[in-house]
Structure 1
Amino acid sequence: MVLFFILTLFGVTPSRAQDPWKNLEKRPSTLHLDKGLLTFNTPAFRLKLVKASQTVAGLQPNTEKDFDFTPSERLAQRSSDGMYHLGDINLRLKSAGDTAWTNYSTAASREDVTPLQVMQAGVLAAADLSPTLPANIPLKVQRYWQVVKGNLVLSFKLKNTSNQAVEIGALGMPMIFNNILQGEELEQAHARNVFYDPYIGRDAGYLQATRLSGKGPALLVLPYGKSPFEAYNPLLADPTPKGIDFEGFYEWMVHSKAYAENEWKKAEPWNKPTSVVVKPGQTVEYGVQFVLSPTIKGIEQKLVEQHRPVAVGIPGYVLPQGTDARLFLNYSKKVKTLTVEPAGALSITPTSAENKTLQAYSVKGLQWGRARLTITYTDGLSQTISYKVIKAERELVKDFGHFLTTEQWFNKPDTFHRNPSVITYDYEKKQQVTQDSRVWIAGLSDEGGAGSWLGAMMKQLVQPDKAELAKLQEFVNHTLFGNIQHADGPQKYGVKKSVFYYQPDSIPKGTYSDSLNWKTWAAWSHQAANDVGRSYNYPHVTAAHWVMYRLARNYTGLVTQGDWQFYLNSAYETTMAMVKQAPYYAQFGQMEGTIFYLLLMDLKAEGWSDRALSLETEMRKRAEHWHTLQYPFGSEMPWDSTGQEEVYTWSDYFGYTDKAEVTINAILGYMPTVPHWGYNGSARRYWDFLYGGKLSRIERQLHHYGSGMNAIPVLSEYRKHPADLYLLRVGYGGLMGAISNITQDGFGPAAFHAYPSTLKIDGLSGDYGPNFFGYAVNSATYITHDTNFGWLAFGGNLSSAKGIIQVDITTASASRVFIAPAGLWLTLDAGTFKTISYNPATGSITATLNAADDHTPKALLRIQQASVGRQYKLIQKTGMERGAYVIPLGSKLAKVELSR
């Protein structure tokens, strides 16, 4: 159904749905596979080359005989002109006096290359590529496969054979690895396929290819010689069909000036575009080397062993203004210069680390927007780190809520009864979206339409605002409970797929815009829109009711149109309706499925035992089903990155620790930590611009809602293993990525476009709401100590005096703190933290709470111990309410002391 939708969305008929792949076999094969392969054993790999082209036919780690990093099983299918293979090269050249760039590619019109007889030690194969390049190319291009210092190396020598200087304006090396999921079952995909992610960091850049299972070894592609990773370019000309089962291939670009002057001229590149001028007779050399890391978590250590610069940013590379950050550089050469662009965007101050071999800096974000830090070392190596400076978290969330309840507040007479609501918004047109041929976009349901009102509701959990809640109560009580949900009848709590629909025979003439294409599957009829069988819509509605319950229960005077019992029961009934009315999709993990766990905890705390038992029973059935599966991550997609959130939650809750571990490993397989705000903690997602975006295309989405969703299980796992700083870095990268794309005026977009021709946020609000859900329920301050980096704070400003560690809380909610050395998880149902003080010598903790406000006369503190044997208790006596300590608040700060 999904493949049908994507194809028909772009005008492809069902009968032609598989034609693109079948047509590959009809294209003339030009690789000449019949001439055989060349096979080589290197210290780390078994390398197979196509004899005729000397491009890669297989790249297997020596430790395994059945796994290949490249799509070798599709070699015959992908053997025609225009299809890239590892070992190809793309060039854009301009001779002196020319005004335009000329493209050259070894894959465009393939001919057999000329083998070279090379006696140099370590060379496995070499070739003159002239036969497979146009005759007019002014460079002689030779390619070498060799082993250098134990590493497999791919290198190119380019000699200017003309009598004029030649400028290389673009040089790209296609990185072709097996990320084609077409036809794969989940078990096969997790065993065979990889995803690869870039660190676009110039001389310090690298590419990592990791298996979907998250197991090692992981492949690292590193620069060889002077071959900086300047840009990461999608190979859009490759005819291998892209779709939900194939993201596409990319190339490592050493030079990109020719693209920056043309296709990319409207975008702001990650790095300064460069070119090189090759004089007559001169030879330049470029290349990459291939290295194996035993594990994903061991990638940085392997980089150190390979004498590559390693940067670690704490808490990451998304910098809220007013929050302190740290940067640690691990490289044998000293830093020569630090350059910030735009000037003044960041402040960089040298500091110290416990490991004296590290070069450490204090970093502050000063100017909103993207910022590039260029580090030049004494050996001339240049490293870039991409930061994103955002507003202080409290200000950002405040602006987000304001934008949603003003610019996106829809309260006009409406044929489809969508008023009042928070509706989808087009930021480029600066207008609300009341029509879209993907009807859910304007229909307040499915992720692409529910995203905005879900974000508005979750904002209230983080930062309640009475004026905003006055509007949102109208939405929940009238539009949500009555139109998005059925108001009565047997499907009372069922959730419709869309409130907007396309039914011209029953709607006044002129209602629908003639400028939209209504002849696609996405233009649901009234009957199709009313369908309640899509389970993915239910968590959004459950979350809205649950937020209203929490606000009505824990605060005074915020919720005035209903009591907490009504909202809690509505959340429960919606959840139970999901498993009853949407059983097929309910078998899968849901995005925001964490809400069902949070609801269960509140049902138990309230003593609603019968409802809690019923809910728990239904969730156990789902978890038991997942436990029978090797990789329980099925969904309506062939592969997905959102179901893992709920699969982890219930697997962990019901004691299926093996499946919880499988889930975490899989998440780490597609959620990297690299020194780049866009990719750090960015869970892989590449098709949802089709569903919820304005610029609809298959494309790696940076900080789509997978970031916020997957941060939930990763940070939960960290609290169980507080010594594993890698988990904290990945999880916090996803957490902050969830809010990284919110604009200065508060607009929350679907995601950020990764293509170098675009590099900007999408124009629609779309399905951003689930991303903010992840931030809202998961945002916290983490305090930890690392033997290399020392004391660290994620989500706070840390200081030390007389042996006491103090952290000023800077998160928007200021309601959750994890103290790793104590294994202590402190959360507030009401009230906010101001500071946390920790004495490592005695283990004593002092939490300072902010004073009361009009709606918060008391704080409700929960203490959860993550480590056995270090039980904490409050020193002062206080009452209990639903399992939480009651802390009376007054006009002054309140202090709470805990001791072991």
Structure 2
Amino acid sequence: MFLALALISGTSLYAQDPWKNLEKRPSTLNLDKGLLTFNTPAFRLKLVKASQTVAALEPNTEKDFDYTPAARLAQRSSNGMYHLGDINLRLKTEGDTAWAKYATAANRADVIPLETKQAGVLAAADLSPTLPANIPLNVQRYWQVVNGNLVLLFKLKNTGSHTVEIGALGLPMIFNNILQGEELEQAHAHNVFYDPYIGKDAGYLQVTRLSGKGPVLLVTPYGRSPFEAYNPLLTDHTPKGIDFEGFYEWMVHSKAYAETDWKKAEPWNKPTSVYIRPGQTAEYGVQFVLAASIKGIEQKLIEQRRPVAVGVPGYVLSQGTDAKLFLNYSKKVKSLQVEPDGALSVSPTTAENKNLQAYTVKGLQWGRARLTIIYTDGLYQTISYKVVKAEHDLVKDYGRFLTHQQWFNKPDTFHRNPSVITYDYEKKQQVTQDSRVWIAGLSDEGGAGSWLGAIMKQLVQPDKAEIAKLQEFVNHTLFGNIQHSEGPQKYGVKKSVFYYQPDSIPKGTYSDSLNWKTWAAWSHKDANDVGRSYNYPHVTAAHWVMYRLARNHNGLVTQQNWQFYLNNSYETAMAMVKQAPYYAQFGQMEGTIFYLLLMDLKAEGWGDKALPLETEMRKRADHWRTLQYPFGSEMPWDSTGQEEVYNWSAYFGYTDKAEVTINAILGYMPTVPHWGYNGSARRYWDFLYGGKLSRIERQLHHYGSGLNAIPVLSEYRSHPDDLYLLRVGYGGLMGSVANITQDGFGPAAFHSYPSTLKIDGLSGDYGPNFFGYAVNSATYITHHKNFGWLAFGGNLKKDSRAIKVDITTASAQRVFIAPAGLWLTLDAGTFKSISYNPANGKVVITLNIADEFTPKAYLHMQQAVKGGQYKLNGNFVLERGANVVPLGSKTVELTLIK
């Protein structure tokens, strides 16, 4: 979003340096007493001598890297600042009615060192001095090495005469995700992000570098210390903002929170507590191990004898599409539990690797679902699924909602009619005013999101009635108001159509209930600024979709011809580099549209326009090639420009930069057995700019998911043996539509805080997410040595002769057959099924029947990797590089042979 230097309050982030204020707080860690240093098989561990909390955690393989924010240790040495090795507790003594809170970070005092005669113990301490005197437990902490792994262990003993209930137990996970003051090169070299698998006994935390390279730190349970919940440490005084997401704690028990702070939310796992009788001791801990790489995480977990789950196509299940689940664990499954009852069907099946326990999973009931796997050794593993409607129905509902509930066509002072406008789902009403003017102003991501989504929906699933409305919007509101339609700025795109200018607008126009005294209430002049490049892809895409609909179908678009829209798309793209040159130097979210536009200009033979566009894009790519990490943006760090940087780097043959880009994406886009985090590219500030509940917070499946899936799946098609890429990319692809409601509302993102765990109330900036789905949705057919034949986006059946996949995606226009390296796409028409014979490579395509607007299919065949070239059996006319296939009242069968 635009206002990179803003806080929720509206003050400049740099008007007052919060770190300076932090340094004024009295230091209580007693750093002057020195550090304790230990060498373990994997790490160099440094502890603050006075507190025995972590001062540094460095991999032995490197000299200049630390997983923790050690460089800020002195700044973060006051009370209330958490460090690795702290513990949070909520306790209730027998007879009490309220939970009492205890935290070792709240009021520092030197801990009492314990003797370390036990083999493997590096340091140990009694934490009583740094806890309130009335705590009913004695808490001891041990740093030790067990079986070569570094372990953090807590022993909690009930020293009283009454039973104590531990209602919450949290272990702060403090790693170096503070980006404040770092240049991109520094951040990618020194900083990390971390993502949870909130999976009970099988849960873990993965700590990855921003570069995506180097060893990955894994935090796993030691003993029975389940990863039950993931809680933000909101009381930590480290300044949060666009350059720091905040710290979190690994929660072993969470019942006390579920009864208080989180009582309005539905938790990922059942909240638990434990009772400690007088004289009893409970032990909890985590261990720290290193995986050689991001793609090596699961293998390391297997080596550590941890359960590993792999879901195909992931953990967002569309109804009517089969999924599979593969479990790799030495113990057998004892039982399975599904909650809510009937939400999923889970039945045993087989895998090619007989050591795996495999299941077919089907989503039956819309909404969140939890699968609990209980192994014979008593270990509990939970997998969080989200069941959505069949993709065709989901997209249809989304289009209907946008063009009905969000269709704005009333007389309007700001000339926003007709349009698809932002919507407040909680109030069930359109948003015509917001003090963040772009929200109601049809531009910027937060205001353009809804109409962009409505237009991109037509690319996936054209609807005549919806297109009739959108033609009015594109030809009048968009081209006449969002874009400057006269003079040299004809194709410049405004920052907002809505603005705050009470001296020139009729009295009573602006609501008195809104705060208009913020930087976000742009004046007319500020709203008319055309210098923000990030607005241009939305408009380019709108004209491009109308071109595609007019060009490839009959009678869907009636007001203008395809040439008109293609030219407008081109002129808007070119206007970006002319009107907004500063931000245009960066990769753009939805920048894929410029590549798609270029391909169509070339296919149409419009060389006089293709050449200038390609020349301008090359200039940008040449600039990125000079940068070590070419992901600059209006933000200190961002996760959306990578999409376009990858596309142009790959197109112009800058493979080194394409590789750097993919590695960085994998660093912030995990695959874990949880629908909310699987393929969810990290975003944590855009609720400020496009959300209703406005706060810094890890956003689950914000538009980073849909956009980053584009380069990841493109990279997979170039490396079809790399299933990891497919899993990550498809997780992002399906994550982009996971939050659409049953009635079709598309929200900005899902709130990850355990106190909330629900979608945001505004449609906001969801449109770019759906853009990613619209241009990238596809079916993937592949084979894996352990899992066997797999389909992502289809239902697969195997017989003695061929693999057949019935297509279940909404567009049904793209299929990739990995063993053949064959990429099949349709500009018009839809796939019904694909058959592939592994023995001879024969491919049989079945196309669905014609409809009123689609008498012909336009089929492209691309060999994504080296191999035998396929030919279409039969005589077909080539048009714009596509095979023209007449459609009729019966399905059409096509055969491809090498």
**Alignment TM class, shorter chain as reference:** over 0.9
Taking the TM superposition and a 5 Å limit, the aligned residue runs for 1:668-747 are: 668-747=666-745
Q: Distance in 1 between matches of 2:521 and 2:10?
A: 13
Q: Distance in 2 between matches of 1:548 and 1:381?
A: 54
Q: Distance in 2 between matches of 1:3 and 1:552?
A: 37
Write the letter of the residue equivalent to 1:713: P
Taking the TM superposition and a 5 Å limit, the aligned residue runs for 1:555-594 are: 555-594=553-592
Of residues 390, 394, 411, the one that matches 1:413 is: 411
- Equivalent residues, number: 898
Aligned to 2:305: 307
Q: Distance in 1 between matches of 2:474 and 2:4?
A: 34
> Offset at 1:20?
1.6
> Offset at 1:801?
1.4
Write the letter of the residue equivalent to 1:482: G
Q: Secondary structure at the match of 2:337?
A: strand
Q: Distance in 2 between matches of 1:259 and 1:242?
A: 23
Aligned to 1:760: 758
Q: Distance in 2 between matches of 1:118 and 1:485?
A: 71
> Offset at 1:867?
2.0
Q: Secondary structure at the match of 2:621?
A: helix
Q: Secondary structure at the match of 2:737?
A: coil
Write the letter of the residue equivalent to 2:136: P
Aligned to 1:611: 609
Q: Distance in 2 between matches of 1:666 and 1:331?
A: 30
Aligned to 1:599: 597
Of residues 169, 173, 185, the one that matches 1:171 is: 169
Aligned to 2:382: 384
Taking the TM superposition and a 5 Å limit, the aligned residue runs for 1:841-880 are: 841-880=839-878
**2:432 counterpart of 1:434:** yes
Q: Distance in 2 between matches of 1:893 and 1:13?
A: 61
**2:245 counterpart of 1:247:** yes
Q: What is the Cα-based RMSD across aligned positions, in Å?
A: 0.8
> Offset at 1:869?
2.9
Q: Secondary structure at the match of 2:446?
A: helix
Aligned to 1:650: 648
Aligned to 2:464: 466
Q: Distance in 2 between matches of 1:867 and 1:751?
A: 35
> Offset at 1:375?
0.1
Deviations 1:842-871 (A, max 9, x none): 100000000000000000000000122310
Q: Secondary structure at the match of 1:837?
A: strand
Q: Distance in 1 between matches of 2:395 and 2:584?
A: 32
Write the letter of the residue equivalent to 1:41: N
Aligned to 2:6: 6
The answer to whether the Cα contact below 8 Å between 2:445 and 2:765 also exists between their aligned partners in 1 is yes
Write the letter of the residue equivalent to 1:10: S
Q: Distance in 1 between matches of 2:812 and 2:10?
A: 49
Write the letter of the residue equivalent to 2:801: G
Taking the TM superposition and a 5 Å limit, the aligned residue runs for 1:509-528 are: 509-528=507-526
Aligned to 2:114: 116
> Offset at 1:2?
6.3
**2:769 counterpart of 1:780:** no
Q: Distance in 2 between matches of 1:803 and 1:138?
A: 69
Write the letter of the residue equivalent to 1:106: T
Q: Distance in 1 between matches of 2:322 and 2:801?
A: 20
Deviations 1:660-710 (A, max 9, x none): 000000000000000000000000000000000000000000000000000
> Offset at 1:877?
1.1
Q: Secondary structure at the match of 2:797?
A: strand
> Offset at 1:485?
0.3
Write the letter of the residue equivalent to 1:435: Q
The answer to whether the Cα contact below 8 Å between 1:705 and 1:738 also exists between their aligned partners in 2 is yes
The answer to whether the Cα contact below 8 Å between 1:153 and 1:287 also exists between their aligned partners in 2 is yes
In structure 2, stretches of 5+ residues that fail to align are: none
Q: Distance in 2 between matches of 1:834 and 1:49?
A: 62
Q: Secondary structure at the match of 1:726?
A: helix
Write the letter of the residue equivalent to 1:55: T
Aligned to 1:351: 349
Write the letter of the residue equivalent to 2:194: Y
Aligned to 2:262: 264
The answer to whether the Cα contact below 8 Å between 1:498 and 1:530 also exists between their aligned partners in 2 is yes
Aligned to 1:638: 636
**2:823 counterpart of 1:821:** no
Of residues 495, 498, 516, the one that matches 1:497 is: 495
> Offset at 1:17?
2.8
Deviations 1:758-817 (A, max 9, x none): 000000000000000000000000000000000000000000112310000000000000
Q: Distance in 1 between matches of 2:531 and 2:17?
A: 30
Taking the TM superposition and a 5 Å limit, the aligned residue runs for 1:148-547 are: 148-547=146-545
In the TM superposition, structure 1's runs of 4+ consecutive aligned residues that sit over 6 Å from their partners are 1-4
The answer to whether the Cα contact below 8 Å between 1:3 and 1:244 also exists between their aligned partners in 2 is no
Q: Distance in 2 between matches of 1:124 and 1:20?
A: 36
Deviations 1:226-259 (A, max 9, x none): 1000000000000101000000000000000000
**2:793 counterpart of 1:795:** yes
The answer to whether the Cα contact below 8 Å between 2:820 and 2:867 also exists between their aligned partners in 1 is no
Q: Secondary structure at the match of 2:358?
A: strand
Q: Secondary structure at the match of 2:548?
A: helix
Q: Percent identity?
A: 84
The answer to whether the Cα contact below 8 Å between 2:10 and 2:519 also exists between their aligned partners in 1 is no
The answer to whether the Cα contact below 8 Å between 2:155 and 2:283 also exists between their aligned partners in 1 is yes
Deviations 1:419-458 (A, max 9, x none): 0000000000000000000000000000000000000000
Aligned to 2:830: 832
Aligned to 1:661: 659
Q: Distance in 2 between matches of 1:232 and 1:765?
A: 26
Cα gap change, 1:2 to 1:576, in 2 (>3 Å): closer
Q: Secondary structure at the match of 1:647?
A: helix
Taking the TM superposition and a 5 Å limit, the aligned residue runs for 1:615-634 are: 615-634=613-632
Write the letter of the residue equivalent to 1:316: G
> Offset at 1:4?
6.8
Aligned to 1:90: 88
Of residues 64, 72, 75, the one that matches 1:74 is: 72
**2:46 counterpart of 1:30:** no
Q: Distance in 2 between matches of 1:3 and 1:318?
A: 33
Deviations 1:371-412 (A, max 9, x none): 000000000000000000000000000000000000000000
TM-score (norm 1): 0.99
Q: Secondary structure at the match of 1:483?
A: helix
Q: Distance in 2 between matches of 1:659 and 1:11?
A: 37
Write the letter of the residue equivalent to 1:415: T
Q: Distance in 2 between matches of 1:5 and 1:743?
A: 33
Cα gap change, 1:13 to 1:464, in 2 (>3 Å): closer
> Offset at 1:3?
6.8
